Amino acid sequence: MTTAASASPDTVAEEAWLTRLLLNSGNRQVQHDLRNAAALHRRVMTLVPNRLGGSPRAQAGALFRLDTDGIGAPVLLVQTRVAPDTAQLPAGYAQAQTRTMRALLAALRPGLPVRYRFLGNAIRRCGRNSTVGKWKQAIPLYGEDAERWWADRAAAAGLDLHTVLSGTADALTAWHRLKDHCDHRDGRGPKTQIKGSGQATETLRVAHAATLFEGAATVRDPNALRGALLHGIGRGKAYGCGLLSLAPGGPEA
């Protein structure tokens, strides 16, 4: 399996790394991170250098996706534009394997058949006169609506889809301290009190909708696809959405 993100096709640096972390489900720090998408994001960011400016995730090109099958240990895929330092993970957290994506990025050409996997934040925003929600409220998409959402973004990313298998994944739930999370326009979760450091802290629960898309496709525009691979697709990248995985092969159209 290989993976992904989006960029200006003329300025793409042909380098990225994909790290596969086989998580230790018995590790307490793993258990904590799996309950909180915000904590999992913070863990991912420990793999890249500090002092990356005001948008460190974007600067590092950090994308991630949690793959689970309900049987084996969960796998966390992490893609970065800088070489990751897996020694920063806690002892016993995961078994790590890292490889460069240079060969995949160079191999993309028009007509190349590929298999894909993508976890997307398939939503639409309500307009001012919406009857289904408040203005700018995020409404999750399901079924054919979600597949049309993905088809539009895949086309923009330079892929011609042949097959699409979609399924609603568990919502990516993040817990934010209210003082650190100022934009509550969506009303996406209840406030609650949690205790830590001897005092109660008010937090906001935010659930991000996620849909898993898998299938076969053909590369139409390699430059657009390299951009989509390197920068991710759609919203929710800080919570585990947006990483496109590709594997060459599969049936032609």
Q: What is the pLDDT of residues 6-34, one digit of tens each?
A: 333 333 346 899 999 999 999 999 999 99
Q: Cα angle vertex 116, ends 112, 118, to 5°? A: 145
Q: Model-level pTM?
A: 0.80
Residue 140: band (very low, low, confident or very high) from pLDDT cuts 50, 70, 90: confident
**Residue 45 contacts residue 29 (beta carbons within 8 Å):** no
CA distance 251 to 115: 9
Q: Which residues does 218 contact at the CB level (< 8 Å), separation at least 6?
A: 111, 112, 113, 114, 159, 160, 162, 252, 253
Q: So what's the pLDDT on residue 69?
A: 77
Share of the chain above pLDDT 90, in %: 61
Looking at residue 94, its pLDDT comes to 97
Residue-wise pLDDT for 229-242, tens only, equals: 999 999 999 999 99
* Enclosing H/E stretch for 97: strand 94-100
pLDDT at site 243: 97
Q: Tell me 224's DSSP state.
A: H
pLDDT at 188 over 80: no
Q: Which residues are CB-neighbours of 36 under 8 A, at least 6 positions away?
A: 173, 174, 175
CATH fold of 17-100? Alpha-Beta Plaits (3.30.70)
Strands 172-177 and 199-208: antiparallel
Nearest-angstrom CA–CA distance, 234 and 236: 7
Nearest to 230 by CA among 60, 2, 3, 6: 6
- Per the CB < 8 A criterion, the answer to whether 77 and 245 are in contact is yes
Chain-wide mean pLDDT for the chain? Answer: 82
Looking at the predicted structure, is the pLDDT value of residue 146 above 70?
Answer: yes
Selection from 14, 230, 7, 2 nearest residue 117 by Cα: 2
Q: How confident is the model at residue 102 (pLDDT cuts 50, 70, 90)?
A: very high
In the numeric block, which tokens belong to residue 76?
Answer: 């966390």
Of all residues in the chain, the percent with pLDDT exceeding 70 is 78
Determine the pLDDT at residue 52.
72
**N- to C-terminal Cα separation, the chain:** 21
pLDDT at position 24: 97
Task: Give the tens place of pLDDT for each residue, 30-89.
Answer: 999 999 999 999 999 999 988 777 788 888 889 999 998 767 899 999 999 999 999 999
Of 42 and 207, the structure prediction assigns the larger pLDDT to 42
pLDDT of 158 strictly over 70: yes
pLDDT of residue 201: 54
Per-residue model confidence (pLDDT) at position 203: 73
- Does 245 have pLDDT greater than 90? yes
Taking the C-alpha atoms of residue 74 and residue 72, their distance in angstroms, rounded to an integer, is 6
Using the predicted structure, report yes or no on whether residue 157 has a pLDDT greater than 90.
yes
Locate 1 and state its tokens.
């399996």
